[in-house]
Copies of this chain bind each other. A is one copy, B any other.
């Protein structure tokens, strides 16, 4: 299958690599072209614009935020300027307002948006073990399924309106934040009372909390292993702000979201922008004098 891929950060490079391994013809584009080199060495073609990458009729994008997606879609040489309009499979975590605008723009131009944001940190992306929340027109989704199979372990269909998948992703990322915050508070209380973090984690993941998200982030918190970051604090803040925007628009009070968001703000204020967002656990510890 001919497929374009736009956005070659750590996640995008891993995902595009798995598409290549699965035998697809991949045409890649990135704002700074040097990031494409490893993929080109592995058999990918280098496109000169997002529009060119989209020439095969289907193009995936994996970018940092709304602005980056806006640039590769609406900008010069962007996907909307392609001669024939493709299916755009957007893997990025974007806001709901922007997802709706994007969906409308693609439909109007004669293409289609499939939103397919992914759950998983870089290691999961490399192992093709992502979870994919997908939504869009049924025929477009059907065409994409082989691609999803090449990059993830499971695909969930959220319906035929693309932004539903973005909403699911925002809810999921909020819940990840709530898990980090919850564990941080519990482990801080435990520590102050004499239970080491690793011991508490063993009990939790050995009993009712035996889920990947507790194991992955629990281990990071228990070992204070916040750098190198798998997902930086500013990215975490961006996501919590997108959830907050959606909650605002839908009139949903989310007090735990506010707690998580404030701890990420504090983390950036105190430790800068390079640390993993789960280091918000260090804010929780610090507030307890640890």
Contact = CB atoms under 8 A, between A and B. Distances in A.
B186 A175 contact: yes
A37 to B, nearest CB: 32
Given A259-B255, A265-B251, A167 B182 contact: no
Interface of A is mostly: helix
B266 A288 contact: yes
Contacts of A133: 203
Contacts of A179: 182
A243 interface: yes
Interface residues of A, number: 79
A166 to B, nearest CB: 9
A211 interface: yes
A209 B189 CA distance: 23
Contacts of A209: 175, 211, 213
State how many copies of this chain the complex holds: 4
Interface stretch (A4-12, A104-112, A153-161): A153-161
A163 B125 CA distance: 42
Contacts of A210: 211-212
Interface string A258-290: 110111011011100000000000011011110
Contact of A189 (B182, B195, B202, B246): B246
A253 B241 contact: no
A194 interface: yes
Given A185-B256, A209-B211, A287-B283, A175 B199 contact: no
Given A203-B156, A211-B211, A269-B287, A194 B262 contact: no
A114 to B, nearest CB: 16
Contacts of A178: 178, 181-182, 185-186, 256
A268 B251 contact: yes
A204 interface: yes
A41 interface: no
A208 interface: yes
A189 B167 contact: yes
Interface string A115-146: 00001100000000001010000000000000
Contacts of A244: 244
Interface in A80-104: 96
B207 A119 contact: yes
Contacts of A208: 119-120, 131, 172, 176, 211-213
A192 interface: yes
9 contacts: A159-B194, A174-B189, A179-B182, A189-B247, A251-B269, A251-B288, A252-B287, A266-B287, A283-B287
